[in-house]
A and B are shown apart, each in its own frame.
Chain A
Amino acid sequence: MKQLTLRVLRFDPKNDDAPHFESYTIQVHEGARVLHALHAIHDDCDPTLTYRYCCGTGQCGSCAVRVNGEPVLACMEEARDGISVEPLEIPVIKDLAVDLLPYIEALPVICPETTATAQMPGKDLVETMKPLRSCIGCMACVSVCPALAVSDFGGPTVMRQEMRLTLDPRDTKDRESEAVTEGLFRCTSCQACWKVCPKEIQIPGKAIEKLRELAHYKGHSLPRHAEVAALIKETGRSVTWTAPSFLELTTEVMEPYGPVKKSVGFFVGCMYNLRLPKTALDAIEVLRRNGVRVIIPRDQICCGSPLIRTGQTEYVDTLKARNIAAFTALSIDTVVTMCAGCGSTLKHDYETPFKVMDFSELLTETGFGSPAHLGLNVTYHDPCHLARGQGITEQPRVILRKVADITEMPSICCGSGGGVRSGFPDEAAALGERRGEEIKKTGAEMVVTCCPFCEFHIAGHTDKPVQHLATLLLNGYKEKEKP
């Protein structure tokens, strides 16, 4: 037996005004799960503690709670000393028991022919449907979905179910249209849902984007998204030209100051090319100061992310082929991105013959010169497509700590992704406001991030300056050079 102390958020709406933490010290066996710790509290300390469980083996989805803020299944997560246990962020019935029923009841159900014969779909379809079927209805995904929190969006597991039904030839309804009315285009592609899903169901990629694609071919695309698609098809870029672009301001090869430690290709992306070229130039400067030769193929174009995220996929193969050709023609083996969205797209939606790395990944791997510490207190915004899309959270912080002090805030979506900023400005603004609140709470003087969409969007919802990591690092170098 071992002793553990944990804090549990208690709340009885009948008697309490607000939730409060209670601390318990209990004895549990080696290897005990959070559920067993809750049993110990209930049996040995306080029988009024309410929590839900059934199977105890990760199969029923009754027991999801937040441990240290992260949604997990209580029956599968190991109980550790000092953890906090809170209910999921959906309405609480009492203590750790939340009201799951409204979300369960919202799930669409199959509508088979009444005269149907009992015939299974073919093997390929079954194999595609199976992962979407493994949902245990724990509602962890629902509890973290930003779109659902601020808008009329059915939510991730409803979209999962719609996709499952679309695939099934036994179902008779038009699920794409139904999904559109349930807010299919309101998802910001933030990836939060599937990162907390105990069954790792890839809802954004395997359900939402696929449904958007099917909806698109049925003519359901939003007008604003169609405009972007038309622009890409016409110009190869998702935004219009307003001032000299990054590609116009650079040459194909940018040599480092001093000896060449490494040679990389640079994928700039539409936003940094046309809207924020100055930030991209800062990144090039940083790379040059760290011995990196940067090759910038002139023929590169939009990565296709705005099309893939919104389901308008007709032109995507062309974009992919042209981009891959642009880099392979120059025999590049490593391509660096500084836009989280482009990076995630190149890593997951492409099959590239070269390695793709985020700017922060490259610097921390090859090593970078120390900048001056600027004495600033900043907060770091994890871009969804970097943190969850590429699993990169630590590298930017490693760099950032060298130039500034970080005050952390919760890692949530700013609201700009998935075509939401253009498609549903009200929703994007509501999420931006929530981000603004969090930034305010940190008391930081500046917000740092690694994505042009986040940078642009957050700037509209905070009075603090927002900068790309590269710009801040460059400032650190410049400060150091000052006599």
Chain B
Amino acid sequence: MRSDEVVDCHVLVIGSGGAGVRAAIEADQYGDTVLVSKTIVGKGGCTTMAEGGYNAVLKELDSCEGHYEDTLRGGAYLNDPGLVRVLVDEAPDRMADLIRWGAVFDVDDCACVAQRPFGGQRFPRTCYAGDRTGHEMMTTLTERMADTEVETYQEVSIISLLEYEGRVSGAMGLDRNGEVMLFRSDSTVIATGGGTRVYDISTNSSSGTGDGYALGYRAGAEVIDMEQIQFHPTGAVYPYDARGRLVTEAVRGEGGLLKNKLGERFMTRYDPERMELSTRDVVSRSIATEILDGRGTEHGGVYLDVTHLPASQIESRLPVMLEQFLKFGVDIRVEPMEVAPTAHHIMGGLRIRPDCSTTLKGLFACGEVSGGVHGANRLGGNALAETQVFGKRAGETAGKAAVHGRSHDPAQVEGERNRLGKYFTGTSDPAAVWRQLKLSMWEGAGIFRTLPALQQTRSVIQHLQSLQLRAMTAENLVECCTVRNMLTTASLIVDSALLRPESRGAHVRKDIAQDWTMETSPFGHTFISRGCRGIGKVSR
């Protein structure tokens, strides 16, 4: 039983999205760096799928102060101001790194990076590469990493963090065949991305299962604001299996109009000033209200219309959208899209300091798995910037951290092995458990929330957690671990939602009347760690 493959390194990076690869590139300058990823580098994660863009202050007329204020206001002032400051100050430098490394962003006539307007921002500061911005970034980062000494283990899933003498000392993973691998490190960077696949309708890629929140929480780290789930206003509604597929905000950035089945531009009722380019929480609730009130379309959405734009603009600025809809039989140049909200982003996550250290020694976090940057609602374009700004910082802090001698606790590994072994005699099909979980999350922890509905979902999760999952073969072990992680992430979301007795940003409690605004709210972050939970109070 001691034949586990053991890999030792200075810095271990978990995740190959924008944040993970950026961290690995940086960490490589300080010592042996290993990157482990559930998916093939460049393919998995949500960064590759990001379409709209990357926010950075590049023009004289714009200012970091403006970006800072927009981000805080968009985030309903729940953001960690120190993290926001770092984000806005460093986003331009990280953009410059990408350009130096060969990224092909769209440019204006003077060969300056082109920027488009995005919701909730006073200045067009969203840089883009058509509507495949994230893919362009991943291609650039993957190329860059190929030119370093970083060693990669692809299609290996991390299932738990190793703890030794009060520090995180690496991680345990399963390879494609279900064989155990141990990675031992001085510092560990977790960059596993988000987890909205715990919802029935989601934009996330296959790896958006919240593994990182669960891994961190189980190891003892603190998570904050997990109730803050961004529902993107515009997800596809048809065909059934493609529900939730993102229709990028760039569609509205380019001038797309939202209309209900009566042809009304209903945003006039909800945010007459910013209209379609209001913040995502507002637009999502507006659409959801139109649909609930019976003004939705046949497939249960509203119309998003670009037919008034020149075909050439659609072809060059929104080629991925055009192609995807054409595949489903809709030519967006001549007919409107049908859209409805979809679970998109988890604003909360592992609590980090500006240097990306978490509440656990030896563990660093960056990207969507971390919390605090976006507060109660993320502005479109800020997440890609976050991956680069905090990816670099995490890699640097982890790289500069001291060497600790690489060890692990055999008892911990034995315990994990026993847990895995039990899956072979389990009785519950992981796919069925996931199905029940995501329906219940959509029902009870969706856009509009109430105490009874949250409690109902919480009891469903508790029931599902009591079931013993089944793995047919060693290869299926990772599915069991993933579903377990989803259950943990979902319970963190629901428990946090129960901790926040107010409506704030993306978190809406229909059953609570409040006489404060987001500026005057008495509440700060919700926080949960093993054995400690609560909500911060702010004295105004």
Contacts and interface: CB of A to CB of B under 8 A. Distances in A.
Contacts of A350: none
Nearest to B154: A101
A111 B146 CA distance: 11
Interface in A50-104: 50, 53-62, 76, 93, 100-101, 104
A338 B136 CA distance: 43
A374 interface: no
B458 interface: no
A109 interface: yes
A107 B472 CA distance: 37
B328 interface: yes
Interface stretch (A29-37, A271-279, A433-441): A29-37
A43 B42 contact: no
B472 A48 contact: yes
Contacts of B95: 118
A93 B175 CA distance: 13
B102 A137 contact: no
Given A59-B49, A101-B40, A53 B246 contact: no
Contacts of A36: 241
Contacts of B327: 58, 76
Given A112-B100, A120-B113, A122-B111, A55 B205 contact: yes
Nearest to B97: A118
B452 interface: no
Contacts of B241: 28-29, 31-33, 36
A62 B45 CA distance: 12
A60 B43 contact: yes
Given A54-B206, A109-B143, A110-B143, A123 B240 contact: no
B102 A170 contact: yes
Nearest to A114: B100
Contact of B39 (A54, A57, A107): A54
Contacts of A401: none
A126 interface: yes
A104 B40 CA distance: 10
B154 A120 contact: no
Interface stretch (A128-136, A144-152, A261-269, A307-315): A128-136
A137 B43 CA distance: 9
Contacts of A134: 132, 135, 319
Contacts of B146: 105, 109
A123 B101 contact: no
Nearest to A113: B100
A171 interface: yes
B205 A56 contact: yes
Contact of A31 (B109, B135, B239): B239
A112 B102 contact: yes
Given A50-B475, A58-B324, A118-B96, A30 B104 contact: no
A243 to B, nearest CB: 52
A117 interface: yes
A126 B109 CA distance: 11
B183 interface: no
A117 B431 CA distance: 50
Nearest to A28: B241
Contacts of B44: 54, 60, 62
B324 A43 contact: no
A367 interface: no
B39 A62 contact: yes
A53 B319 CA distance: 22
B206 A56 contact: yes
B120 to A, nearest CB: 25
Contact of B245 (A48, A57, A61, A129): A57
Contact of A59 (B48, B99, B100, B108): B48
Interface in B174-200: 176
Contacts of A104: 40-42
B106 interface: yes
A412 to B, nearest CB: 27
A32 B240 contact: yes
A57 B246 contact: yes
A122 B104 CA distance: 10
Q: Which of A55, A101, A107, A110 has the most CB of B within 10 A?
A: A55
A110 B472 contact: no
Nearest to B105: A120
Nearest to A60: B43
A119 interface: yes
A47 B239 contact: no
A120 B42 CA distance: 22
Interface in B229-244: 238-242
Interface in B451-477: 472-473, 475-476
B109 A123 contact: yes
Contacts of A120: 99, 104-105, 107, 111-113
A58 B257 CA distance: 25
Contacts of B99: 118-120
Given A59-B49, A118-B99, A126 B104 contact: yes
A60 B139 contact: no
A50 B473 CA distance: 12
B431 A43 contact: yes
B207 interface: yes
A329 interface: no
Contacts of A42: 431
A149 to B, nearest CB: 23
Given A122-B107, A136-B135, 18 more contacts: A31-B238, A32-B239, A47-B429, A47-B431, A47-B472, A47-B476, A58-B327, A59-B49, A59-B135, A62-B44, A110-B143, A112-B100, A116-B100, A120-B104, A133-B129, A134-B132, A134-B135, A170-B100
- Enumerate the 8 nearest inter-chain pairs by beta-carbon distance, A residue then B residue, closest first: A31-B239, A118-B96, A29-B240, A110-B102, A43-B431, A109-B143, A36-B241, A118-B99
16 contacts: A31-B239, A32-B241, A47-B473, A50-B475, A54-B39, A54-B205, A60-B42, A60-B49, A62-B39, A116-B100, A120-B104, A120-B105, A120-B107, A121-B107, A123-B111, A133-B139
